[in-house]
Amino acid sequence: MHGFTTDAILLRKIEYGDHDFIISFLTKSRGKISVIAKNAKKSVKRFSGALDLFSVNHIQCTFPKKKKDGLIILSQVDLENGFANIRYDIFKTAYASFWVELIHFWLEEDKVVSRLYDLLLFSLGALNAGTLSKEVLSLLFQIRFMSISGFFPDIEKCDECKTPVDLIEQKNVRFDFKEGRIVCQNCIKKSSQYGMTVSKGTLKQLFWINNSDISRVDRIKFSSYAINEGEIILEAFIQYHVGRDFKSLQFLKHLRREK
């Protein structure tokens, strides 16, 4: 029976019938794929401990014999990294869950975006290792996700008068969610109502972590104010442009309020 093997990050798992799961994986070479894990609830040998959300696995799959348009069959799974340190921390789990939910609902089936796989793998690894704060990692993930997905906002200059951020006299500008742009105070009357006031410093830091080498992102230090402002901007912008309220993000916001 024809099939393939690949490394894959688990994005979503839903029950199918009494014994099976339908699972979405993100792979580097095949993009997002959906597979059926038959008898996964009973098969300890093949699947035990390897089908958890955002885990990295080496999977073996086979194509269905009879139905050409049927689901790919997951035949074997070998766990490579379960990211145990993430799972023991409710905040880290919430961040990781948001990232995989975002990718699952944005990425089309079989669309290969290897940069997105690399970004998610790096972010999960750093979150698990604790080399970067979970808040900064989420800013990094979101801003780079937007760059990869093609709806990256223009945060380098005022969209109306074209003045670069560094040359804008005021400390704050208007971030326009609908248009994905910034507008200086002098041009504010022309801007959209879908937005908020944001400091130039926050925008410059977001621009830096998007454009610098990913291995050097730990060199920039965000203030608590910039982190909070960055989270509000990016999370609102992504939800607006993806057109979806993410359950994992709502849970994450709940945790922040409780904290």
CATH number at residue 156: 1.20.1440.120
Q: Looking at the structure, do residues 197 and 118 belong to the same domain, yes or no?
A: yes
In order along its 259 residues, the chain shows pLDDT tens digits of 588 999 999 999 998 888 889 999 999 889 999 999 988 877 666 676 678 999 999 999 998 877 666 789 998 899 999 999 999 999 999 999 999 999 999 999 989 999 999 999 999 999 999 988 999 999 999 999 999 998 888 899 999 899 999 999 999 999 988 888 899 988 887 555 567 899 999 999 998 898 888 888 777 788 899 999 999 999 998 988 888 889 999 999 999 998 7
The dihedrals phi and psi of 50, each to the nearest 5 degrees, come to -115, 0
Phi-psi category of residue 39: left, alpha or beta, with phi > 0 → left and psi -120 to 50 → alpha: left
Q: Where would I find the H helices in 82-170? A: 84-87, 90-106, 114-129, 134-149
What's the pLDDT at 87?
A: 93
User: 115 and 177 share a domain?
Assistant: yes
248 & 121 share domain: yes
Asked if 136 and 243 sit in the same domain, the reply is yes
- Render 213-229 in DSSP notation, one character per residue: -GGGGGG----HHHHHH
Any idea what the Cα angle at residue 14 is, between residues 13 and 17, rounded to 5°? 135
Q: How many domains does the chain have?
A: 2
| 216 plus 123 within the same structural domain | yes
Question: What is the four-CA torsion angle of 219, 221, 226, 228, rounded to 10 degrees?
Answer: 90
- CATH code, domain carrying 72: 2.40.50.140
Range of the domain at 78: 3-82
- Predicted pLDDT at 48: 67
Residues 182 and 229 in one domain: yes
pLDDT at 191: 52
Domain final residue, candidates 82, 104, 122: 82
